[in-house]
Amino acid sequence: MQPLIRLLLLLLFSGSLARASVDTARQARTELGAGIWARVLRIENTNPRSRYPATVYATVFEFAGLLWFYTDTDGTQSFSLRRGHLDEEKADFRPLLRDIEPGFTGFEVLPDFGPQFAAARRQLPNGCFIDSVAALQARLARGERMTGAALLSYYIKVAGQIHGHTVLAYESPAGLVVIDPAQGPTPMPVSQGSLASEPLRIAHAVDPRGVVRASWVPVPLGASAERYALAGVTPAKAADAAGTM
């Protein structure tokens, strides 16, 4: 292959990857719905040894009193450095970005393109955390009865590597149920379990593949339920990186 043709193909391929990445970030923002504060960022990465590309598209969003950071590279991870400082952190992303990757030296907030991206719905890459947030929103918007809710993030060791996954858990009048959006919308009952249980025990009940670590991300359900009811919204380091497996 001639060098010029090879270069053109490389540029075209790189452009298609960038296009997919920004569309994925916007899809994540759309899936979170209008009831959740979120921003889509274009980030410049100056670290050539980073696991992230030179240009990164990310979705930053607020959930359960913290900021979170999603990319299609490795899913969702906590973005906040301190609890209780949301306004301060929203006003200046720079220290939060540098904490994730020192090479993140510049960024811009992209325009919010709104719900038109919902029509092109596809599986969100490494999107289990956001899918679980959206599943919670959908049930709150329908007025489903819940006495408590949390996200359950757990980690499985496969071939020497740790893989993370997140599901929605909530307490209904019938008891604790778990919804794994990757497996469909049907709730799975967890017998003799509650949100007060050890997360590792619940994770073992949900997934038999050898969970090595698990943690809860509690949801302030009362405030969330009231906000969605009033708005009439129908939605389209607390946990480490939580991607799909």
Average the pLDDT over each of 10-19, 50-59, 130-139, 186-195 and give the range with the smallest value.
10-19
Average the pLDDT over each of 54-63, 65-74, 119-128, 131-140 and give the range with the smallest value.
119-128
39-43, long-range: CB within 8 Å, 24+ apart, which pairs? 39/109, 39/110, 39/112, 40/109, 40/110, 40/112, 41/93, 41/107, 41/108, 41/109, 41/110, 42/107, 42/108, 42/110, 43/97, 43/104, 43/106, 43/107
Instruction: Locate the domains of the chain by residue range.
Output: 3-120, 128-231
79: closest CA among 45, 24, 128, 39? 39
What gap in Å lies between CA 200 and CA 238, rounded to an integer? 15
pLDDT above 90 covers a percentage of the chain that reads 60
Residue 123, pLDDT score: 84
Residue 97, pLDDT score: 98
Q: What are phi and psi of 228, to 5 degrees?
A: -70, -35
Q: What are phi and psi of 129, to 5 degrees?
A: -65, -50
Q: Decide if pLDDT at 141 tops 50.
A: yes
